[in-house]
Structure 1
Amino acid sequence: MKKLSVLFAAVMMVVSVGMAKAQKIATLDVVGVLNAMPEKKKADTDLKTFADTKQAEIKKKADAGQAKLKQYSEEAPKKTAEENKAREGELQKVQEEIQQMQEKAQKDFLAKQDLAYEPIEKKLNDAVSKVAKANGYDYIMDANSTSLVYKAGPDATAAVKKELGIN
């Protein structure tokens, strides 16, 4: 009975090794391909411009609030307690507005980023699928993945870049 178990285990090892060798696996530098795509470069530029614009609006509001705080701090001894309390409430309202602007800017940026990158990701995935089918790859793994332990198969990066028409 023990010999049968050992024989079965040996047969399973041979079969699994044979199946693994039958599969064609390639790697792909996804980050490198994406960074070489003109569409991605344009999207990155547009997103940076959008983020810089929003940041400038927030900074303008924060600077105005800071100026108001300085003014109110200097005038505080000359004002009544009631006036100072009202001014404190006004400053708190400005601070809340700035925080809301930051949250909205972040939400808007993420939405704009998703919208900008969606067609780029689709184009890349279509090119990867086309290259995989043309070259008979069963799997194409991301060469940048930390979970990739062994990489000796062919690299599909050049073929995908060629399919996308980039260098």
Structure 2
Amino acid sequence: MKKLSVLFAAIMMVVSVGMVKAQKSATLNVAAVLNAMPEKTKADADLKAFIDTKQTEIKKKGDAGQLKVKQYQEEASKKTAEENKAREAELQKLQEEIAQMQDKAMKDSQAKQDALYEPIEKKLQAAIEKVAKANTIDFVLDYNSSTLLYKNGPDITADVKKELGLK
């Protein structure tokens, strides 16, 4: 019985080592591939322009609010308490509008980023899958990932760039 247990354990070790060796893994420098893609460069520029436009709108509204604050402070002593109270309410409303603009700009920027990068991510994923299947690779790990578990596999960055027609 003891010999059978030892034999079984030896067979299991051989089988498990064979299974580990059968799995191929590779690393991919995702950042390098993305930075080489012209679509990503264009998306980055489009997103920056969109964000800059939103920031300009918010700044313009904020500057107008600052002018009103200054004007109201200068004229406060010449106005009645009711007028000053109405002005304070107007300034409060303006401040709320600016906060709402900032929130909306953040949400719009995130939506724009998602819309711009989704097709790029899909294209990259398709290229990774095609290269991995062609090279019978079971696992592809991001070379730059902080959770990288295995880094001795072949680096397929050049093959993915070639698949995407990049240099």
TM-score range, shorter chain: over 0.9
**What residue is the counterpart of 1:79 in the other structure?**
79
TM-aligned CA deviation for residue 6 of structure 1: 5.7
Q: Secondary structure at the match of 1:141?
A: strand
- Across the two proteins, how many residue pairs are aligned to each other? 167
TM-aligned CA deviation for residue 11 of structure 1: 3.7
TM-aligned CA deviation for residue 16 of structure 1: 1.8
Equivalent residue letter for 1:97: E
**Percent identical:** 74
**1:12-161 superposed matches below 5 A:** 12-161=12-161
Moved over 4 A (4+): 1-10
TM-aligned CA deviation for residue 50 of structure 1: 0.3
TM-score by structure 2 length? 0.93
In angstroms, what is the RMSD of aligned CA positions?
A: 1.6
Q: Secondary structure at the match of 1:140?
A: strand
Distance in 2 between residues matched to 1:9 and 1:111, nearest whole Å: 55
Distance 1:81 1:163, change over 3 A: same
Equivalent residue letter for 1:84: N
Q: Secondary structure at the match of 1:137?
A: coil
Distance in 2 between residues matched to 1:154 and 1:64, nearest whole Å: 58
Pick which of 56-65 and 3-12 moved more: 3-12
Equivalent residue letter for 1:15: V
Equivalent residue letter for 2:154: P
Pick which of 46-55 and 103-112 moved more: 103-112
Distance in 2 between residues matched to 1:82 and 1:4, nearest whole Å: 98
Equivalent residue letter for 1:83: E
Equivalent residue letter for 2:30: V
TM-score by structure 1 length? 0.93
Distance in 2 between residues matched to 1:3 and 1:66, nearest whole Å: 88
Q: Secondary structure at the match of 2:144?
A: coil
